[in-house]
Amino acid sequence: MAQAVLLSNAAFLRLWISNTASGLATWALPFVLALTIVADELSAAYVGLALAARTFGFILAMPVGGVLADRSGPRRMISGAGVLAALGILPIVAGVSTFVGVGFVIIGACLTGFGQGACRASYQAIIPRVVSGDQRQAANAAMTISIRVSTLVGPSLATVSVLYVGTSITFLMIAALWSLAALLPANRPQTPDTSVHRPLTLSLFISELGDGFSEVRSHPWIVAGLAALSLVITFGYSVTNVLLPQVSKAHFGGPELLAVSVTTYTLGALAGALVIARWKPKNIGWIALSGLALYGLVPLSLIQPSHMILPIAAFFIAGVGIELFNVPWFTAMQREVPAERLARVSSVDFLFSYGLAPLGLAGLTPLTQAIGIIPVLLICAVICFGAPFIAMIVPSSRGFSRV
């Protein structure tokens, strides 16, 4: 089904390639920065600052990108954000290769992160403009397959590139990917927008962003689902990033479990996307939230992993579940939210679901030191299982619809 949408819709194919290029660039950059440490081009402390600046730019850009995309159209936002992300690579190259100062690397990383964050909501908002309603679920599945493949392939390609052509050329190749992402998307012809936007002042920006929050609040299923998603990411993903390496070292003597589990999770997500591309169950909201709850298997499997197969299976099932949630979630928002507010609603979605994640990353280690790793894993499992099922209490969550 996803393949049929790609082959039959040239505008969506261009959008998909753009999304793939931005995904490859996004996932390659942190690996290339990390390899500058190996090459003695940057210190670990400076790379850490650059990655932090990139994350800061990403989060800061979310609301900005949502407002601008709804004002000028997601196509223009993707183009502008892609160009900005590509230009942000140039100070990184200058800082790494010419030793003009690590400040250039940090500024460039922040600009690239801003570009990455500014275009993310637009990729969701542009789909209704190029794909008809009955094909959107398959289109969203194809988009998520693009991201998952980029997750697997981007770091590997970046590593091979650094080994053969060096870090500077690899950084420029990332800039080329962002340029490709900026050039490709195309809207189908739409009814001309004859409205005249007032110049965007700070007060008007806050007002228009507030309209996005108001739109979210008018859909109880979005509020409930977003709360559940934010909790699962904050506590579940933090387990993967903070506690999984500790469990891998303590029980299996090295990073093997960490590497295999992350890969298995991505493969599970690919499988889940392929399934949900065709499957349209009646109570799709409940199915989606049940899929989200499957992430609770991850912390549960790490409590006393007698064999590596247990957490590996849990990660695969969680990967399947996350796409059983993601694809219907995005499709429902594209159906239920007015097109002129969709980018802002999508930016609120990303802002809360991923913007709160650093709290979990920061708080999990001291909590583990205070009460121990097993109680923390149990707490995270209960939250990951419980939050989506509590969200099901909201009546409109059953079909991800107000009707």
88 shares its domain with 172: yes
Is the residue at 136 inside a domain?
A: yes
Q: Which residue has the tokens 């979990």?
A: 360
User: Which pLDDT does position 186 carry in this prediction?
Assistant: 62
Whether residue 27 sits in one domain with residue 160: yes
| 199 found inside a domain | no
One domain, residues 327 and 385: yes
Cα gap 40→102, rounded to integer Å:
13
The CATH number for 63's domain is 1.20.1250.20
Per-residue pLDDT of the chain (403 residues; tens, 9 = 90+): 555 666 578 889 999 999 999 999 998 998 888 888 877 787 878 888 888 899 889 989 999 999 999 988 899 999 999 999 999 999 999 888 776 677 889 999 999 999 999 998 899 999 998 888 788 999 999 999 999 989 888 888 888 888 888 888 999 999 999 999 998 876 554 444 444 567 778 888 889 999 999 999 999 999 999 999 999 999 988 888 778 888 887 777 777 787 788 889 999 999 999 999 888 888 999 999 999 999 999 999 998 877 889 999 999 999 999 999 999 999 999 999 999 999 999 999 988 888 777 777 778 878 888 898 899 999 999 999 999 999 999 999 999 997 6
Residues 222, 155 share a domain: no
- Closest residue by Cα to residue 26 from 90, 115, 121: 115
If you ran DSSP here, which 8-state letter would residue 135 be given?
G
- DSSP conformational letter for 197: P
pLDDT at 261: 87
Instruction: Report DSSP letters for 294-342, one per residue.
Output: GGGHHHHHTSS-SSTHHHHHHHHHHHHHHHHHHHHHHHHHHHHS-GGGH
Cβ 214 vs Cβ 376: under 8 Å: no
Cα R_g (the chain), whole angstroms: 21
Query: Both 170 and 220 in a single domain?
Result: no
Q: Is residue 203 part of a domain?
A: no
Q: Are residues 176 and 228 in the same domain?
A: no
Task: Please count the structural domains in the chain.
Answer: 2
Q: Max alpha carbon distance in the chain (Å)?
A: 64
Q: Which pLDDT score, from 0 to 100, does residue 187 have?
A: 56
CA distances from 153 to 75, 157, 184, 190, 252 (A): 26, 6, 21, 35, 26
Are both 177 and 248 inside the same structural domain? Answer: no
Q: Which two tokens stand for residue 262?
A: 């992350």
326: Cα separation from own chain's centroid: 10
Q: How far apart are CA 13 and CA 104, in angstroms?
A: 36
Q: Whole domain around residue 149: which residue ranges?
A: 2-185
| Interatomic CA distance for residues 167 and 282, integer angstroms | 50
The token duo for 146 is 């693009």
What pLDDT, on a 0 to 100 scale, did the predictor assign at position 191? 44
Q: Is 35 part of a structural domain of the chain?
A: yes
Distance from C-alpha of 297 to C-alpha of 322, rounded to nearest angstrom: 12
CB atoms within 10 A of CB 155: 18
Residue 202 located in a structural domain: no
| 380 shares its domain with 320 | yes
Has residue 196 been placed in a domain? no
Same-domain status, 37 and 174: yes
pLDDT at 189 (0 to 100): 46
Q: Which of 12, 179, 160, 161 is nearest to 84 (CA)?
A: 179
**Same structural domain for residues 22 and 102?**
yes
Residue pair 232/383 in contact by the 8 Å Cβ criterion: yes
Q: Identify which of 186, 184, 138 has the alpha carbon closest to the alpha carbon of residue 17.
A: 184
Distances from the Cα of 206 to the Cα of 6, 68, 213, angstroms? 37, 12, 10
Residue 292 CA neighbour count, 13 Å, CB half: 32
Residues 6+ apart with CB under 8 A from 215: 337, 338, 341, 344, 345
Dihedral over Cα of 144, 149, 152, 153: its sign: negative
What is the number of other CB atoms lying within 10 angstroms of the CB of residue 140?
A: 28
Whether residues 243 and 180 fall in one domain = no
Predicted local distance difference test score (pLDDT) of residue 197: 66
* pLDDT for position 267: 94
Q: Is the same domain home to 267 and 230?
A: yes
pTM of the model: 0.89
Q: Is residue 198 part of a domain?
A: no
Given this model, what pLDDT does residue 100 score? 63
Is 403 a member of any domain? no
Q: How many CA atoms lie within 13 A of 338 on its CB side?
A: 8
